[in-house]
Amino acid sequence: MLKKRGKLCFFVYNKVKRKELKLMKDISRLLASVRRPARYLGREINSVCRDPQQAEVHLALAYPDLYEVGMSHLGLKILYELVNNLPGIYAERVFAPAADLEQLLREQEIPLFSLESRTALHRFDLVGFTLQYELNYTAILFMLDCGRIPLHSSERGDHDPFVLGGGPLAYNPEPLAPFFDLLVIGDGEEALPEILKIYREWKKKGRRGRQKFLREAALLPGIYVPSLYRDYYDGDGKFAGIEALVPEASLPVRKRVVTDLEHTFYPECFVVPYMEIVHDRAVLELFRGCSQGCRFCQAGYVYRPVRERSAEKLREQAGRIINNSGLAELSLSSLSSSDYPAIGELIDTLEDDFADRHVALSLPSLRADTFAVRLAGRLYKGRAAGVTIAPEAGTQRLRNVINKKVTEDDVLEAAAVALREWQSHVKLYFMIGLPTETMEDLEGMVELVRKISVAGRSGGGRKKGPSRINVSVSTFVPKAHTPFQWEPQLETAEILRRQDYLRRELRKVRGVAFSWHDTSMSLLEAMLARGDRRLAPVVKRAYDLGGRLDSWNDLFSFSRWEEALNAAGLSARDYVGQSPAYTEPLPWDHIDTGIAKEFLIREHQRALQGGITPDCRGGKCAGCGLENCPQRQLTIDVGADLCVRPPVDS
């Protein structure tokens, strides 16, 4: 009997191996027919290639966009190397296919596959998606469908992969809730290995009972299992709240925070692509979080508290990263890199270390002040490069409303230094539709650009040739867990009117190129950012109607979303056109970022009064309510104001 069973297993194994080899040959043949095969080849330098059959747990790290976008994302790089350093775990990458490959996959009935071993997506144990941008929602369903994974978690059986999600959009997961088995709220470096450990034990016991695994995973801090919760609505069909269905489901779900960034894993063997990607460089993460408190910025609130790496640690990491990758550029990354306390010392050290290796340093995120611009000027040293300055608003009054702590003089001086001394061009980033914005603020924006244009043409700087000023204007999108989560988005007609005004007026300013964001894309982003579970069928319907890579302008169609909304009896304005009362439940209230809601209310009220909240890293705690904030501990130690949840102004 044992011999027969052994022969049968050997026969089945060989049959599977033959099928896999045929699939790999079919894929190789397909890739010869697509425009950019390098997107799907795998086997890049530092990619991890193993036999999946030898892994105890097989994880697909999925990014719902094209290769060149996904390969630029730092979070994917961190988790890829982290997981592949865990014993018995194998992680591979998978990205959304472009239209030419999708057509071939459909025609040949080949499922979407991973890069490293070309394993079909449905054959993985778990598939983890990075959630970065609302307009990628249909791409998630697209990849699941192409990978032959049931779209809804309720339709998956014991032998289907578990679908995970994580990233900033997990802070309001409700529009995607029916499609995910579980989501990681917050930092994933500690949470993901814990999930994989539980899964390994569940798999050893025979992969029986998906709910058993999910209920055990739900006990982990920061893990949200949507199927263990229920949304409910009042008699008028208005969102009324979320309730837990089982004891394992915590309410609220508190985000995970990696408190010791100094000793937290960071990748040092970056995968080197065969093709140019959006950000084709190595990345050094200086610190995580931001304490500036810009009231429109979700990242500034959900990534708190600020956690830094020492200059010594960063120097060690930089050396190993460049040694292992050979990349020619190293980006010093954070939400505002010039805020790193030892930034000057770090740049001096890295320039010395890489002096004879032709490694360029770059600062992708800078404050709109002269210090930051001169810092960037040191790095570029005559290279043809531009600098981005983000005044955000055209007047000081409106900058106070959004808590953007730069003055017009700061912006003018920074732009003048950049244009006259070393930059080939300056990009100015503004938003329209911010709370309390008036036509005077738009006029102030035009006047500020005009002053910068004049400053760029005057004076005897080193730069030769005409100044170029690129003005980019996006539309304000109210985001969850920010003080502006209670603000509506402007009507589309009014946004178009303001865009038209700026287009007319800026055309009169010498050397200025004006670009703006698509209003319907901004409307959709806001709707999904503020949505509840009733939008899940809308996302599904938009996918059925042809939605794929909606974040790409040439592939985006708002008409399919309008059709999907009409079919569900909903309107985008239902979600973006209202100003909910402070007492009304919000679809994301069950997700706890650690920031007190009372603090956000106080910040919203202060914004409407034009008040500024100082950066708490300057010495005084802002009282946001974070329990694990280093600044709170510092404040307590020196005997200043304690970090307590602030009272709500009447």
Q: What are the tens digits of pLDDT across the range 552-581? A: 999 999 999 999 999 999 999 999 998 999
Q: What is the pLDDT of residue 645?
A: 36
- Distance from C-alpha of 68 to C-alpha of 442, rounded to nearest angstrom: 36
Q: What is the pLDDT of residue 10?
A: 44
**Structure-model confidence comparison of residues 6 and 589, the more confident one:** 589
Q: Is the pLDDT of residue 648 over 60?
A: no
Q: What are the tens digits of pLDDT across the range 506-528? A: 999 998 999 999 999 999 999 99
Q: Is the pLDDT of residue 286 over 70?
A: yes
Q: Is the pLDDT of residue 446 over 60?
A: yes
CA distances from 74 to 63, 83, 429 (A): 12, 14, 23
Q: Is the pLDDT of residue 17 over 60?
A: no
Q: What are the tens digits of pLDDT across the range 374-408? A: 777 777 665 556 778 899 999 999 999 999 999 99
Q: Are 471 and 449 in contact (CB under 8 A)?
A: yes
> How many Cβ atoms are within 10 Å of 323's Cβ, its own excluded?
11
pLDDT band at 630 (very low <50, low <70, confident <90, very high): low
Rounded to 5 degrees, φ, ψ at 413 are -65, -45
Q: What is the pLDDT of residue 643?
A: 38
Nearest to 596 by CA among 558, 618, 622: 622
Across the chain, mean pLDDT equals 90
Q: What is the pLDDT of residue 371?
A: 76
Environment class of 234 (CB within 10 Å of its CB; exposed 0-12, middle 13-18, buried 19+): exposed
**Mean pLDDT, rounded, for 582-587:** 96
- Distance from C-alpha of 46 to C-alpha of 69, rounded to nearest angstrom: 18
Whole-model pTM over 0.85 = yes
Which value, to the nearest 10 degrees, does the dihedral of the CA atoms of residues 146, 151, 153, 154 take? Answer: -130
Q: What are the tens digits of pLDDT across the range 296-337? A: 999 999 999 999 999 999 999 999 999 999 999 999 999 888
pLDDT band at 636 (very low <50, low <70, confident <90, very high): very low
Q: What are the tens digits of pLDDT across the range 226-263? A: 999 999 999 888 999 999 999 999 999 999 999 999 99
Q: Is the pLDDT of residue 642 over 50?
A: no
Q: What is the pLDDT of residue 30?
A: 87
Q: Are 217 and 182 in contact (CB under 8 A)?
A: yes
**Mean pLDDT, rounded, for 79-86:** 98
